[in-house]
Amino acid sequence: MASLGLQLVGYILGLLGLLGTLVAMLLPSWRTSSYVGASIVTAVGFSKGLWMECATHSTGITQCDIYSTMLGLPADIQAAQAMMVTSSAISSLACIITVVGMRCTVFCQNSRAKDRVAVVGGVFFLLGGLLGFIPVAWNLHGILRDFYSPLVPDSMKFEIGEALYLGIISSLFSLIAGSVRASGQPSPRATGEGHCHWIAPEGAAEDRLTLATGSSKGRNGSCCDSVQVELSRCLPSQIFGSLHLGAPFLPP
């Protein structure tokens, strides 16, 4: 299981990734006007996002309009909307699950389920970061392709907006947080699966091993020995965790 400091770092990165994804999803600056060629002198600059587009005039006034229809948008914009919303929802769920699996919380203390919940939260962070990275990378590829294409007019070319940079950083934060949380596998000592080793110190009278042998007949008529073990230094949970049914117990 990951250390407490590493858990806190992973959770903070995941929370920052979630907040950055939400802001990047709502910003209208996924694409901004490119001032190249004939469009180098213009009085209006345009920027487009997932939900609205804005026009900035030379006077400094900015007007934004929400898209009148969602079904009439290009397929890549619709896919980006769905992925970003899903990424935000999964990352929000990952933040809640991760809190339960952290060592510094009071939920399921000293339980194997706590370690498993922490791993599940990390997997959700990975999934949320991946869903947030795909639409950002796809739009980034489309902007660069159109910008360097000679077939696209200069007035139709756009540059990379601030929202894409924020989306890339946020998705990377979520992926790193998921890797940190998902890689924290529980150790045998943390899960209570360790074995109890009985060591009798010299001159210690309270550490004793009592063996009482008897005989009882089974179904096949054979005799088997019964062994009674008393270990004063070992906890009952450790004793029963280390003894296996059918395995003979050998005193030291």
pLDDT band at 183 (very low <50, low <70, confident <90, very high): confident
pLDDT score, position 153: 83
pLDDT score, position 20: 96
In this predicted model, what pLDDT tens digit does every residue of 105-163 receive, in sequence order? 666 666 677 778 888 889 999 999 999 999 999 999 999 998 888 888 877 888 999 99
pLDDT band at 198 (very low <50, low <70, confident <90, very high): very low
The residue-averaged pLDDT of 170-194 equals 72
Q: What per-residue string of b and e applies to 6-28 under the rule 16 or more CB within 10 Å gives b?
A: ebeebbebbbebbebbbebbebb
* HSE-up of residue 245 (Cα within 13 Å, Cβ side): 0
pLDDT score, position 108: 61
User: CA-CA distance, 97 to 92, in Å (whole number)?
Assistant: 9
Is residue 106 classed as helix, strand or coil in its secondary structure?
Answer: coil
Q: DSSP letter at 156?
A: G
Please list, in sequence order, all residues whose beta carbon lies within 8 angstroms of the beta carbon of residue 147, skipping any fewer than 6 positions away: 34, 157, 158, 159
Hey, what are 192's tokens? 């209570």
pLDDT score, position 62: 87
List the single range of 6-20, 55-69, 154-168, 169-183 with lowest mean pLDDT: 55-69
List the single range of 37-41, 181-185, 216-220 with lowest mean pLDDT: 216-220
pLDDT band at 41 (very low <50, low <70, confident <90, very high): low
Please give the order of strands across the beta sheet that includes 52-57: 62-66, 52-57, 44-48, 31-33, 158-160
Is residue 67 classed as helix, strand or coil in its secondary structure?
Answer: coil
Residue-range domains of the chain with CATH: 4-189 (1.20.140.150), 195-252 (no CATH)
pLDDT score, position 200: 47
Highest-confidence segment of 6-20, 39-53, 58-72? 6-20
User: CA-CA distance, 13 to 122, in Å (whole number)?
Assistant: 11
pLDDT score, position 118: 80
In this predicted model, what pLDDT tens digit does every residue of 232-248 receive, in sequence order? 444 444 444 444 444 44
Helix (H) or strand (E) holding 89: helix 75-100
Is the model more confident about 69 or about 210?
Answer: 69
Please list, in sequence order, all residues whose beta carbon lies within 8 angstroms of the beta carbon of residue 221, skipping any fewer than 6 positions away: none
Is the model more confident about 20 or about 60?
Answer: 20
The residue-averaged pLDDT of 204-222 equals 42
What share of the chain in percent tops pLDDT 70?
65
Is the model more confident about 124 or about 71?
Answer: 124
Hey, what are 40's tokens? 């180098």
Q: CB–CB of 43/143 below 8 Å?
A: no
Q: DSSP letter at 220?
A: T
pTM over 0.75: no
State how far Cα 63 lies from the chain centre.
38
Q: Is the pLDDT of residue 172 over 50?
A: yes
Is the model more confident about 104 or about 211?
Answer: 104
